[in-house]
Structure 1
Amino acid sequence: MVMDVKLHKAQAVLVVESPHEEEVVTGVPLSGKAGIVVGKALINRGEPIGPLCQKGEVRLSIVNTFLQPRQFDVEGEGRSRLLSDIDSLRYGDPCGYKREIFELLNCTRERGLVESYKERLVDVLAVAEGRKIIVCGLIAQAVFEWVFGVEGLRPMPIS
């Protein structure tokens, strides 16, 4: 499990989807390839943003939508049915993809995963200086919209 990065007086909160292999190894969100992409986009640095946030060099908190990876099993933890089902979806158009995720969330018996996310995000926002939330990825967007009852987050291209 990869825990969130919670900084007091963070300027904003990054909401990401789930840890990848590098994050599982380091225990730090956004410490792999996705962290490099986000680092380039947000702070124009070609290094993973997660460790920089954890050290306080970049004043951003990071919340994983899911603490477990959705793409693979972590030894001994087993794999959540919800995460397996989300991972099995095939990406088409963004709106259709998000609707399919909404349907899975509506039907899931694993409410604890979603409630944990909501509680963790609210907890991190409570100590953030800024109330900006940057939601990264369509899965993170879909879960955010479903949990908080908002609609219409649009993907922004990262160059």
Structure 2
Amino acid sequence: MALTPARIEDGRALTLAGFAERFSMSDLSGLPLLWQRFGPYMGKVPGQHGQDGYGVCYHPDEQGGFDYLAGVEVVDTFGLPDGFITLSLEPRHYAVFEHRGSLQGLKGTFDGAFQWLAQSGEQQAHAALFERYPAVFNPMNPDAVMEIWIPLQRK
């Protein structure tokens, strides 16, 4: 079932910092472990701006591999803990989709978003897509809401 975007938005530039690993669409089992590793740093990252968490998919390859960063927005990169990497996202045009409830159903939301994209006449830009987790997000809450931001090519 194709989802309708919650909104189309011009996103701002973001500098993110956190932990990153390479994943494959055929095995995403390490994603929760990456977030567990990053979790103790939430709200305590030097230079952190805001309280939202970001999961960023970038550097995809033709075999379904991609890099994924679990992190937060920072105003500067000074004093980051060992092992942190930074990623800068340019301002882009996005289709923003809401996901409600358990993260177990997140794949279905992604599938619906990409079905919408295929039917919409829009084209995905060759840029990072990201998940935005509001500070109040609790993956155990069945009413939890997070967002998926898919970059679009400007027409």
TM-score of the alignment, normalized to the shorter chain, above 0.5:
no
| TM-score normalised by structure 1 residue count | 0.32
Q: Which has the higher helix share?
A: 1
Structure with the higher strand share, 1 or 2: 2
